[in-house]
Amino acid sequence: MTDEMFSVRIVPVVVLHDAHDADPLGRALVDGGLPVAEVTFRTAAAADSIRAMSGIEGLIVGAGTVLTPAQVEQAVEAGATFIVSPGLRRDVVMAAQAAGVPVLPGAVTPTEIMAAQELGLDTVKFFPANVYGGAAAITALSAPFGGMRFVPTGGVSSSNLSDYLSLGCVPAVGGSWMVPVDAIREGAYDQVSQLCREAVAGAAAVGK
């Protein structure tokens, strides 16, 4: 997993229902100092949104909620430079590896983590973090899996950001609090940029 997408330690998880919102949202992220977007395949607008955002200078764009090898192919064709999946599916991981893009599958149990290691991975998504024990669970898992890194997503917010980022095995978190659906729908991109600035400042304030 490349560390470029973890440079500011937060990966915005973006849900777009209209690809026309992709370009202004991407520019709002860059303007807010958070030039990363995980565009989820939860809507039909995902591929077109990735395609639009991939043309924005300085923005790292990936695909999230990728469930099948076909979606990996679709995402990469659209310009995604990393793949995120909510769970660990071998053929999805291998499809991303074959395409030459970093992949971050979900893994929350020792068995899943060992399966990820078997596939040559050293970083996994810990999702949904708030359901599977949060920072305490990650701390416990990091003991037997000292070389594994975890990117918690699900229930992460400005109020618990430091709980996760203070852990040495957490290079970044995923979250959507800086890209609220209402703000995107209303075209409130200045609000998005401001929320991004606050998120970046919060991450920078956490010692490691």
Ordered domains of the chain (ranges, CATH) = 4-204 (3.20.20.70)
Maximum separation of any 2 CA atoms in the chain, in Å: 46
pTM: 0.96
Contact 32, 178 (CB under 8 A): yes
**pLDDT for res 163:** 97
Instruction: Say whether 38 is catalytic.
Output: yes
Q: How many CB atoms lie within 10 A of CB 45?
A: 19
At residue 5, the pLDDT reads 82
**Per-residue model confidence as pLDDT tens digits over 105-161:** 999 999 999 999 999 999 999 999 999 999 999 999 999 999 999 999 999 999 999
pLDDT, position 102: 97
Q: How far apart are CA 165 and CA 208, in angstroms?
A: 7
Sheet of 36-40, strands arranged across: 103-104, 83-84, 60-64, 36-40, 10-14, 173-175
What is the three-class DSSP state of 167? Answer: coil
CA 1 to chain centre: 12
State residue 2's pLDDT score: 62
The pLDDT, as a whole number, for residue 158 is: 95
Which stretches in the chain have pLDDT values below 70?
Answer: 1-2, 207-208
Provide the 10 A C-beta neighbour count for residue 190.
12
Task: Catalytic residue, from 4, 38, 112, 186: name it.
Answer: 38
The helix-helix angle for 189-204 and 22-31 (nearest 10°) equals: 40
Q: Which position among 4, 73, 125, 198 bears the catalytic label?
A: 125
Phi, psi dihedral angles at 143 (to 5 degrees): -70, -55
What pLDDT is recorded for position 4?
79
Number of Cβ within a 10 Å radius of residue 129: 27
